[in-house]
Structure 1
Amino acid sequence: MAEIRLDPTLGPVLASTGDERSVLESFLDFHRSVVLRKLRGLSEADATHRLVPSATTLAGLVKHLTVVERNWFLSLLAPGPGDDYLTSREDATASFALADGDTVERLAAAYEAQCAQSREVAARFDLDHTVPHPQLGEVSLRWILVHMIEETARHAGHADILRELTDGSTGAF
């Protein structure tokens, strides 16, 4: 039997009376899906075109968010050998830089795969689970989820503006 997948934009609506975890996860998934919707359907040239004074591009936003997902969920909550948590502004700025093979489809696939891995890691812990953080002392999974909602939503807003400047489309769809 085929898996039935709901439109991720419905998640926050469906979780309106859910428990805390389902509300947090549905809002994060909503903003993740908005970011992907802003990237998909664009040409490589449009996705990498600079429309603002900074080096921010739609493709670069998705690459950055892929690094951020890995950093907060994998490197912080469930680090393996070689998983170093990135803390510097230089690391954050570098995460927007595109390489030759960074196509729209590859970036979208990498982001989706990293989000899936983030969900898997987060599912192993209670919201109250805490881990050491090199700058904040300790953080809970609850805090990480709220932070990731904020981070992803902020960049979804950037992506919305960049997409509007590219082809006039706006909104979550």
Structure 2
Amino acid sequence: MSAPLWPEELVSTGTEREILEAFLDCQRRQITAKVAGVSEADARQRIVPSMTTLAGLIKHLTAVERNWFQRQLAQRDPADIPGNSRGDDHSWELTPSDTLDSLIAEYDTVCEENRYIAAGFTLDDAVPSKRLGEVSLRWIYAHMIEETAQHAGHADILRELIDGATGL
């Protein structure tokens, strides 16, 4: 008996959009799975010279999600977006009130909002971008897969250093 297929495997012959959405959601799941079961102290623990922590990864990716889908794609005014929507160095900073549960809940909420925003665009739809001139939803999906996968790798390493846990 073979293992059940993962959502990204179920779209192996899907449309380009189905594949991009499934792989982004796969990386989003990997990020939250890597922090499951760690203590608040371990989630905040800095074990590398940078500000990278398990909790900080979630907070940073929430800001990056806001930046690309809400600021860039939906062209929302940053003043109308709660929380960091730049994904800059400040997006890694944890406040005393940040808990792993609250950070994951916020990340999940922002990802759900972003799925809704993206549903209103085709892959070829392009919006103005200060840095790139224009950016398409296709490019945003590819970039977010890259960004989230990169940080999922960081989370893998941090988790292994913290408690030896590997894999999902």
TM-score, normalised by the number of residues in structure 2: 0.91
Q: Give the conservation status (yes or no) of the 8 Å contact 1:11–1:26.
A: yes
Instruction: Note the C-alpha offset of 1:101.
Output: 0.8
Structure 1 runs not aligned, ≥5 long = 1-6
Query: Which residue of structure 2 lines up, in the alignment, with residue 54 of structure 1?
Result: 50
Q: Which has the larger displacement, 9-18 or 145-154?
A: 9-18
Query: Which residue of structure 2 lines up, in the alignment, with residue 94 of structure 1?
Result: 90
Q: Give the conservation status (yes or no) of the 8 Å contact 1:65–1:111.
A: yes
Query: Which residue of structure 1 lines up, in the alignment, with residue 150 of structure 2?
Result: 154
Query: Which residue of structure 2 lines up, in the alignment, with residue 74 of structure 1?
Result: 70
Asked if 1:125 corresponds to 2:97, the answer is no
Query: Which residue of structure 1 lines up, in the alignment, with residue 33 of structure 2?
Result: 37
1:22 to 13, 18, 21: 18
Identity of aligned residues (%): 55
Q: Give the conservation status (yes or no) of the 8 Å contact 1:61–1:159.
A: yes
Distance 2:72 2:94 in 1: 24
Question: Which AA in structure 2 matches 1:131?
Answer: V
SS in structure 1 of the partner of residue 88 of structure 2: helix
Query: Which residue of structure 2 lines up, in the alignment, with residue 4 of structure 1?
Result: none
SS in structure 2 of the partner of residue 156 of structure 1: helix
Query: Which residue of structure 1 lines up, in the alignment, with residue 110 of structure 2?
Result: 114
Q: Give the conservation status (yes or no) of the 8 Å contact 1:48–1:57.
A: yes
1:140 to 132, 136, 143: 136
1:106-145 CA-partner distances (Å, limit 9, x unpaired): 0000000000011010011000000011101101000000
Distance 2:31 2:80 in 1: 25
Q: Give the conservation status (yes or no) of the 8 Å contact 1:129–1:140.
A: yes
1:35-68 CA-partner distances (Å, limit 9, x unpaired): 0011121110000001111111000000000000
Q: Give the conservation status (yes or no) of the 8 Å contact 1:75–1:83.
A: no
SS in structure 1 of the partner of residue 134 of structure 2: strand
Distance 1:26 1:137 in 2: 27
Query: Which residue of structure 2 lines up, in the alignment, with residue 165 of structure 1?
Result: 161
* Aligned residue pairs, count: 161
Distance 1:44 1:125 in 2: 38
Distance 1:78 1:138 in 2: 13
Structure 2 runs not aligned, ≥5 long = none
SS in structure 2 of the partner of residue 98 of structure 1: coil
Distance 1:57 1:69 in 2: 18
Instruction: Note the C-alpha offset of 1:83.
Output: 4.6
